[in-house]
Amino acid sequence: MGKIKTIEYFRVLPRWLFVKITDEHDNHGWGEATLEGHSQAVEGCLDAMIQRFVGYEADNIEHLWQTAHRHSFYRGGPVLMSALAGIDIALWDLLSRRLGLPLHVLLGGVVRHKIKVYSWIGGDRPRDVEAAAKERYAQGFRAVKMNATEDVDWLDSPKALETSVERCRIVKALGMDVGLDFHGRLHKPMAKQLAKALEPHRPLFIEEPLLSEHYEGIKQLSSLTTIPIALGERLYSRWDVKRFLNDTSIDILQPDISHCGGISEIRRIATMAEAYDVALAPHCPLGPIALAACMQIAMCTPNFAIQEMGLTIHYNTEAGEYDIKNYIVDKGVWDVRDGYVEGLKGVGLGIEVDEEEVRKVAKTANAWAPKGFVGPDGSIREW
């Protein structure tokens, strides 16, 4: 046992927010509180949590989680839950490091020794998908994901969807599985058409076919297509998730470990999903600490299906040289072979953070700004 001595956070390129917790015996752990485009808001929340939780027992992770969530009165949401996630992940890392064990051992041990993964192709405005998919195949991936469309109006020409079907067909012809991320960009009139047009090409899943707030529309869409429906990155707790499980409107749940309260909450969400025969495929186009935490969950979760990896995702390459192999000592942990990454075997999260690089980059890193689309008439479109 040891009381929390310090909680620090570090904004680093390309768009990540890391958290380090040290106890009074100098044991430490790392977490990730990345909320893309909203780092300053999460940092403000972390400042308040630092004042509150320095001096708490570092081992009492659940008590701290409950205190942060229930004593805040205004609960949930992306900012509070991302800040809490960074702290929660760091505390689990600290505890398992102090005990000299991989984190998954504390969560019940392994149910698989390697993790199926996929990565991104195509960018925000998907293009050059054939060359990008071939590159991913050469890197070891056997599944990819891409944005289904560019920006689309509430009611657009059906021609706006034709290239989406063609891109799916091209990637499938290479022998790869492909998920199509609607990204909440489409509204119901267009989403219904695109799902029907894609169905003969059998994508791995369609993701966020509508924004998560349109739960009634997602339920309707689920009755119109046989394609598995995935969503969850904009659901921040088990309470946000339960409506979709009760509606039986989704097949794959994609909570983000850095948005939904960390390891403690994603474990509860996964168990709820298992009871409804829903698979877990965590959202994670984020940094190496969040990815390592997801890998620990994958290793001990029966209904885990596949893990997103942000390796050279367009958000990273746009920022320059920083990617998921930065900020860690052993860069080989993310090597992909025939569609899988080997389970992490080291203590804690299974990675060693290069603290020198973190502190160096954090001195000058600017916050990543949210993106957006505007239609030809000047109106806002979903991004």
Residues identified as active-site: 183, 283
Q: In this structure, which amino acid lies at residue 85?
A: A
Q: Judge whether 69 and 240 are in contact, CB under 8 Å.
A: no
Q: Judge whether 353 and 16 are in contact, CB under 8 Å.
A: no
Can you say how many angstroms the Cα of residue 355 is from the centroid of all Cα atoms in its chain?
A: 23
Residue 281 — φ and ψ, nearest 5°?
A: -140, 80
Dig out the tokens for 162 from the structure.
């034709």
Query: How far is residue 326 from each of residues 12, 154, 238, 352, measured CA to CA in Å?
Result: 10, 40, 32, 11
258 in helix, strand or coil? Answer: coil
- The CA distance from 285 to 297, in Å, is 16
Q: Strands, E, within the chain: which ranges?
A: 4-12, 16-23, 28-32, 114-120, 143-147, 177-181, 205-207, 229-231, 252-253, 279-280, 307-308, 340-342, 373-374, 380-381
144 in helix, strand or coil? Answer: strand
Please tell me the number of Cα atoms within 13 Å of 95 on its side-chain side.
19
Q: Judge whether 124 and 149 are in contact, CB under 8 Å.
A: no
- The CA distance from 381 to 383, in Å, is 6
Q: Judge whether 283 and 35 are in contact, CB under 8 Å.
A: no
Q: Judge whether 178 and 168 are in contact, CB under 8 Å.
A: yes
In the block, tokens 């958000």 appear at: 315
What is the DSSP code (8-state) at residue 112?
Answer: -
Nearest to 120 by CA among 110, 135, 105: 135
Q: Judge whether 380 and 372 are in contact, CB under 8 Å.
A: yes
